[in-house]
Each structure stands twice: as C-alpha cells, then as structure tokens.
Amino acid sequence: MKIEQSVQRIQWRLASKKPFTANLSDIEALNDIIEYVDKKQNEQYDKNENFAKLYIRAYGKMIQHYKATVFDLEPKKAMMSIFRKSLPETVDDFKNQLNNSELCGLLEESYSGEDKHPLLRKGIEHDIFEDETENLSEKIKKDPEAMKKIKREVFDYDTVYNNLKAEISNVINSF
C-alpha cells in the first residue's frame, strides 16, 4: 500500500465509532506508516550529519556540566532551551559572552601587573583618561569608577552576527 492509502485506511477505521477487530489490511496499513516514519527519520538524520555531530558533542558537554547521565532530564532541558531561543537572542548571548571574556581578560591583566591587553598599553590610557601619570592598572586599582570608563563593548551585535554568519556559511560550504 502507498502511504496515503495506508493513512486513509487507518483514518477510516478509527472514524467509525464502533469497536472493530483489526484485519490484515489494517495491520499492513499500520506497518506501512511505521516503516514510512522510520525511513523519514533516518533520511533526516543522514541529511543532517553535521548537525547530529554538533548535537552529540553539545549534549555530551551538557551531561558533563550537570554531572548527569543520559537518563537525567536536566541536560535535555538545557539542550531544548537552546533550541527554543531565537537566532537573534542566541547571537546576542554569544556577543555578551565575547564581551565578558574581553573584560575578564582585561581585569586579569590589570591585577596581575602585566599591561598586555590593548586597553592597558601606554598611550591608550590617554584616550580614556586625561592624564598619563600612572598606568591604567594602577588607576583601576585606585579608582573603581575607572572601570566604568573602560567597560564598553568590544564587540557589537552586527559585527558578531556578520562574522558568525560568514563563518557558518564557510563551514557549510566546506562540507
């Protein structure tokens, strides 16, 4: 039987309000539907192999993060929350993560005494502060307000979005 005929057969049988005993045609129709669903699921999995690899890796990281097993719900809920977010929300989260990473790097370097971060190099202080009598590390340590002056976004949404889009396109085109 074709899938359309199988579905019509099952619909017809279930539409009648009377109890019935399944016959060979009903069983064949149900088996056709099951086979069709299995085939479509396998095709979908095969066509999205790279997505499957990313999902498996991310799911493994979630299981690790939550110190869970594949039987626990928390990693699955975390994965589903990722998929429920819109793409703009996801890009914005990524942008915030990048900016936080930059700020953490800045803070680590400012408190370690090594002025390696671009915002901590000589000459850049002048762009942020009026005088250059002491290095930025010292200013941050002495003046909590100094951090507010330098805490600006390094990455904006459009830049992050466009770079992610280009990178993802390149990866898709590579495979």
Give yes or no for a contact between 90 and 164, defined as CB atoms under 8 angstroms apart: no
State the pLDDT at residue 20: 87
Give yes or no for a contact between 98 and 155, defined as CB atoms under 8 angstroms apart: yes
State the pLDDT at residue 75: 96
Q: What share of the chain is helix, strand, coil (3-state, %, to 5)?
A: 75, 0, 25
Give yes or no for a contact between 156 and 98, defined as CB atoms under 8 angstroms apart: no
State the pLDDT at residue 102: 79
- Return the structure tokens found at 117: 């971060």
CA distance 73 to 71: 7
State the pLDDT at residue 135: 62
- Write down the residue that tokens 């951090």 correspond to: 147
State the pLDDT at residue 116: 52
- Return the structure tokens found at 38: 């299995």
Give yes or no for a contact between 33 and 10, defined as CB atoms under 8 angstroms apart: yes
Q: Is 26 exposed, middle or buried (0-12, 13-18, 19+ CB in 10 A)?
A: middle
State the pLDDT at residue 125: 47
Q: How far is CA 15 from the centre of its chain?
A: 43
Given a cut of 50, the residues of the chain with pLDDT beneath it are 124-126, 129, 133
